[in-house]
Structure 1
Amino acid sequence: MTHIVWDWNGTLFHDVDAVIGATNELFQSYGLGPYDVEGFREVYTRPIWVAYERMLGRPLREGEWELLDTGFHEHYHRLMEVCNLAEGAQSSLRAWEESGRTQSLLSMWGHERLVRKVGEFGIDGHFRRVDGLRSASGGHKAEHMVEHLRALGIDSAKVVVIGDSVDDAHAALHVGARAILYTGGMTRRSDLEGVGVPVVDSLADALDFV
């Protein structure tokens, strides 16, 4: 493997508290919650509207997803300001770069906010390319992975994707890349292990697998 595609939220960026806090504020008016980390992991899945339907116990109504998505991000963008990089993120990025290999970042978060936040942490120089969503949020990552690798001009057989969700693994498999899943995000370890790819508890362990 000569190239890593990193995920951002829940992987390099440890934003679990902000995600749960924003979700609790969002669903307070529905009489749901508050969720703690383990409780939220029990209902979490992607696409996120499926998780919301689990929480509500019913399908979303016409226009409800857009309202929930907007409300979530209003809370999240305030709460995530106090979140930091995951333990070992900077040292892992540095170690991979010093090994002479390449890396990039693909996120399902808004592109402009992603680029700004990565720059604030001073880690943008580690990545050959940084891509976030340039349109509506909430879908699957696979097609975005296709475009990301095409833009990089990299053979997917040389790529490993490191992320915190089942969706990251599916995106990797969709393009013929390998995947390693990290337990620092929203997804239960048992769900990650069900995909059949390596599952690790630290970013340093992920590099060891690569």
Structure 2
Amino acid sequence: MKTFDAKRLMDIEHIVFDWNGTLLDDIELAVKSVNLCARRFDVASVTRERYREAFHFPIASFYATLGFDLERTPFAEIVQRYLEHFDANVAQCPLHDGVTALLDAAADAGVGVSVLSASHRDTLTKVLDAKALLPRFAHVVGLTHNLATSKTAEAALLQKRLGGEAARTLFVGDTTHDCEVAHSVGWTPLLVSTGHQTAARLLSSGATVLNGLGELLPTLSGERAAIACRKEGLQ
């Protein structure tokens, strides 16, 4: 994995985080929920490894890859079954290691933070509130439906709300789609391999890939602190 270039962080004014798989460690719940659907619709179950190797957007295409017959069973019906289990349990999923420390470091450095997710915005808001994280984000953006098609349009709207130079926003995600979303609006992408796709899949995007959020913390804390010191003539 590549170390994130601290010099690139010097110009970052805002960090947008994906939610599922990036800040929230929900991979086990997602695999279990998919396998409940598999049993219901007569499809072979998947392992965690198979899930991470196959996962991609749009989610309907991902299910087709796993063997679901979307002509026989409408995707909306599969999603409904999935969410019956996932939404009932997602608030119990833990945060990934380093989330709180990273948000603290961003606040100390004067870097704004927001969330952009393919989750339904109502569910997203509820879970963030349950985790006592909702007040920490300037903007929380989710979808208005449960089909998880893409979040490119929502990213464009968020960029308008953020204003400023798009390249000065860092988008941290866990899928190649997150890299595509970042490029679509001019954000700087950064991917972590602790979520819904394997490191090999992520590296194929050409983006910097970290083993976890903790690898970003020293860069954010150390580099921004050094910048502040230089501005104040302390070094």
The TM-score range, normalised by the shorter chain, is over 0.9
Q: 2:141 matched to which residue of 1?
A: 131
Per the alignment, residue 89 of structure 1 pairs with: 99
- Could you tell me which of 38, 44, 48 is aligned with 1:37? 48
Alpha-carbon distance in structure 2 between the residues aligned to 1:140 and 1:131 = 13
- Greater Rg by CA: 2
Deviations 1:12-33 (A, max 9, x none): 1111111001000011133334
In 2, Cα distance between equivalents of 1:44 and 1:209: 29
* 1:146 maps to which of 150, 156, 165: 156
Give the alignment of 1:52-131 within 5 angstroms. Answer: 52-56=63-67, 60-61=70-71, 64-131=74-141
Which residue identity is paired with 2:208?
P
Conservation of the 8 A alpha-carbon contact between 2:115 and 2:137: yes
Given the alignment, which residue of 20, 24, 30 partners 1:19?
30
Amino acid of the residue matched to residue 34 of structure 1?
Answer: S
- Seen in structure 2, the aligned counterparts of structure 1 residues 152 and 63 have a Cα distance that, compared at 3 Å, is farther
Structure 2 unaligned spans of 5+: 1-11, 221-235
8 Å contact from structure 2 (residues 101, 217) kept in 1: no
DSSP-derived class of the 2:56 partner: coil
Give the total of aligned pairs. 209
Q: Which moved more, 1:25-34 or 1:178-187?
A: 25-34
* Matched letter for residue 180 of structure 1: L
> When the two structures are superposed, what TM-score results if normalisation uses the length of structure 1?
0.93
Q: Partners of 1:188 and 1:139 in 2: how far apart?
A: 20
Q: Which moved more, 1:156-165 or 1:144-153?
A: 144-153
Look up the match of 1:8. Answer: 19
Q: Note the alpha carbon deviations across 1:172-207, whole angstroms, 9 max, x for none.
A: 001111100011111111110001110011102134
Describe the shift of the 1:208–1:168 C-alpha distance in structure 2 as closer, same or farther (beyond 3 A).
farther
Normalised by the length of structure 2, the TM-score is: 0.83
Decide whether the 8 Å contact of 1:160 with 1:177 is kept in 2.
yes
The equivalent residue for 2:206 is 196
**SS of residue matched to 1:28:** helix
**CA displacement at 1:117 relative to structure 2:** 1.1
How many angstroms does 1:62 deviate by?
6.5
Q: Which residue of the partner structure matches residue 173 of structure 2?
A: 163
Match of 1:183 among 178, 181, 193: 193
**Maintained 8 Å contact 1:165/1:186:** yes
Partner Cα separation in structure 2 for residue 27 and residue 171 of structure 1: 29
SS at match of 1:85: coil
Q: 1:8 to 1:190 in 2, by over 3 A?
A: same
Q: Does the 8 Å contact 1:165/1:187 carry over to 2?
A: yes
Question: Do the aligned residues in 1 keep the contact of 2:98 with 2:214 (CA within 8 Å)?
Answer: yes
Q: Percent identity?
A: 24
CA RMSD in angstroms comes to 1.7
Q: SS state of the match for residue 116, structure 2?
A: strand
